[in-house]
């Protein structure tokens, strides 16, 4: 199976590239700027056609949640129009598309975990642009999976795990919001699930389960609990540590409003594909250890130079 993924340095794209390195049955081609620029729709088809994919994974996105409030047009161009163009290109190439979306399509007022049929009501521009992207993808290519994930982290790109490790480097205490709940999700786990679903779509000609699925790490957390686990794990591997102080969302001024509860139920994905993500605590240890040991190795190299 030959899979083209949009976004080269992105967390999910880089995780897919790494996952494929260890497997003979899958080849991943990452397509990004300047060849494929979602803000320039004219670039999309040619870039994907050149990759000769059996399936397209649409993972590139404008993901700066606060900045999106000031760059609404660009966020929509990339996350809505651009995503639609990717799905349309896949349709023209005669292949299915797996598109990544977000928990931020919800407003967070539900009590329990959101299911796929729950009403959406994004609180900010990023969520609204991703929701518009879902509609554009569905309209452009009937053979689509829209996988809503959340709170993604990995050794790559920008994410909360890397931010906490960086802040802990020169602080004794970090204040983190404790009244926002969700599901931390390793991009390695996302990659594994995407490869599984992709294989199914490519191999099973009568697959009929197209549509929206929630795909997140098992177990829930608030940001401060997540932060505490990150830094406890880091300390165990000899990495940076800081105390975490619980604060309220209201005490952390940010441009974009975020949902207080964006827990997602993964029952639908589990029953369609027979796969559930590992507990987020376990996956977090894996990523933290890698980051901390990488830092240690780099420090060692510098010492020895």
Ligand X SMILES: Cc1cn([C@H]2C[C@H](O)[C@@H](COP(=O)(O)OP(=O)(O)O[C@H]3O[C@@H](C)C(=O)[C@@H](O)[C@H]3O)O2)c(=O)[nH]c1=O
Q: Which residues are designated catalytic?
A: 126
**Residue 106 falls in which region: left (phi positive, over 0), alpha (psi -120 to 50) or beta:** beta
- Judged by CB under 5 A, does residue 191 bind Mg ion? no
For the bound state, the minimum distance from the C-beta of residue 44 to ligand X, rounded and expressed in Å, comes to 21
For the bound state, the minimum distance from the C-beta of residue 295 to ligand X, rounded and expressed in Å, comes to 19
Burial of 61 (0-12, 13-18, 19+ CB in 10 A): buried
For the bound state, the minimum distance from the C-beta of residue 24 to Mg ion, rounded and expressed in Å, comes to 6
Residue range at the interface with ligand NDP (CB under 6 A); choices 61-69, 110-118, 198-206, 271-279: 61-69
When CB distances are held under 5 to 8 angstroms depending on the partner's kind, the choice from ligand NDP, Mg ion, ligand X, none that residue 174 binds is: ligand X
Instruction: Give the C-alpha separation, 196 to 142, whole Å.
Output: 20
When CB distances are held under 5 to 8 angstroms depending on the partner's kind, the choice from ligand X, ligand NDP, Mg ion, none that residue 193 binds is: none
Bridge partners of 174, per DSSP, are: 244
For the bound state, the minimum distance from the C-beta of residue 5 to Mg ion, rounded and expressed in Å, comes to 14
- Judged by CB under 6 A, does residue 44 bind ligand NDP? no
- Judged by CB under 6 A, does residue 33 bind ligand NDP? yes
Calculate the alpha carbon distances from 152 to 29, 192, 284 in Å. Answer: 21, 14, 10
Instruction: Give the C-alpha separation, 19 to 189, whole Å.
Output: 10
- Judged by CB under 5 A, does residue 20 bind Mg ion? yes
φ and ψ at residue 106, rounded to 5 degrees = -100, 155
Please state, as a whole number, how many other Cβ atoms lie within 10 Å of the Cβ of residue 243. Answer: 13
* Site size for ligand NDP (CB under 6 A): 27
Calculate the alpha carbon distances from 292 to 14, 27, 217, 298 in Å. Answer: 19, 29, 22, 10
Question: Closest residue (Cβ) to ligand NDP?
Answer: 10
When CB distances are held under 5 to 8 angstroms depending on the partner's kind, the choice from ligand NDP, ligand X, Mg ion, none that residue 8 binds is: ligand NDP
Give the residue with the Cβ less far from Mg ion, 30 or 138. 30
CA 167 to chain centroid, in Å, comes to 22
Chain residues that interact with ligand NDP, rule: CB under 6 A: 7-13, 32-33, 36-39, 59-63, 78, 100, 102, 130, 149-152, 157
Applying CB under 5 A, which residues contact Mg ion?
A: 20, 23
């Amino acid at each position: 199976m030959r899979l083209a993924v949009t976004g080269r340095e992105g967390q999910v794209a880089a995780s897919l590239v790494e996952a494929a390195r260890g497997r003979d049955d899958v080849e991943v081609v990452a397509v990004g700027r300047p060849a494929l620029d979602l803000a320039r729709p004219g670039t999309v088809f040619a870039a994907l056609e050149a990759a000769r994919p059996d399936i397209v994974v649409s993972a590139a996105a404008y993901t700066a949640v606060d900045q999106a409030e000031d760059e609404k047009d660009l966020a929509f161009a990339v996350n809505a129009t651009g995503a639609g163009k990717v799905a349309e290109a896949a349709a023209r190439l005669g292949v299915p598309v797996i598109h990544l979306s977000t928990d931020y399509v919800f407003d967070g007022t539900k009590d329990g975990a959101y299911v796929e049929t729950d009403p959406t009501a994004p609180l900010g521009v990023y969520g609204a642009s991703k929701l518009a992207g879902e509609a554009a993808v569905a309209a452009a290519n009937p053979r689509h999976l829209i996988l809503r994930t959340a709170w993604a982290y990995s050794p790559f790109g920008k994410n909360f795990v890397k931010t906490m490790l960086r802040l802990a480097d020169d602080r004794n205490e970090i204040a983190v919001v404790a009244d926002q709940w969700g599901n931390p999700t390793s991009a390695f786990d996302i990659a594994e699930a995407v490869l599984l679903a992709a294989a199914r779509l490519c191999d099973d000609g009568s697959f009929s389960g197209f549509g929206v699925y929630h795909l997140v790490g098992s177990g829930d957390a608030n940001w401060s609990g997540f932060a505490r686990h990150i830094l406890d794990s880091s300390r165990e591997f000899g990495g940076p540590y800081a105390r975490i102080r619980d604060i309220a969302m209201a005490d952390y001024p940010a441009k974009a409003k975020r949902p207080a509860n964006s827990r997602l139920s993964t029952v639908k994905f589990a029953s369609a594909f027979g796969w559930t993500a590992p507990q987020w605590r376990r996956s977090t240890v894996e990523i933290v250890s890698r980051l901390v040991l990488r830092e240690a190795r780099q420090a060692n190299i510098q010492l020895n130079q």
